Amino acid sequence: MAVSGPNGEDLPGAVLFACSLNAIRSPMAASLMKHLYGTRVYVESCGVRAGTLDPLAVAVMDEIGIDLSHFQPKSFETLADTSFDLIVTLSPQARHKALEITRAMAVQVEYWKIPDPSACEGSRDQRLAAYRDARDNILRFIKEHFEGRPLSGF
């Protein structure tokens, strides 16, 4: 079910962001979508496996005023609701799982290629830079995909 965005654009009624672990990219994506589109869209995130929230993800989201510190990772199996209009997968494993569980469902599944920042090695500053790149790429994908102006800044 589509809903109208702040500038009349069509938005899905419910979006799920999914990754291998619900620890970095998928919680960042869900929190950015919630920040941009408020209560207009139901947004959730999960992983193929529930991971442990990554403290560097918390740090880079805090830099832009979004608090992830209380986020509780989930897996596909522990989702309270599975009625989504769009599932955005952020890893090949999540894409495979989403396609597997939605075979008999009318839901759009997309894959957004966002590199896993936890694969970056180096100093804390180098690793933080990789997490910022992931955050900023997710934000760019969301803005490009859902067009129109979001409700709040960035």
Task: Report yes or no on 153 lying in a domain.
Answer: no
Given a contact cutoff of 8 angstroms between Cβ atoms, the answer to whether 145 and 123 are in contact is no
SS3 category, 88: strand
Q: What is the CATH number of the domain that holds 136?
A: 3.40.50.2300
pTM recorded for the entire structure: 0.89
Count of residues making up the chain: 154
Task: Report yes or no on 84 lying in a domain.
Answer: yes
Encode pLDDT of 126-141 as tens digits.
Answer: 999 999 999 999 999 9
How many domains is the chain partitioned into structurally?
1
Give the Cα-Cα-Cα angle 80, 148, 153 (nearest 5 degrees): 80
Encode pLDDT of 81-100 as tens digits.
Answer: 778 999 999 999 999 999 99
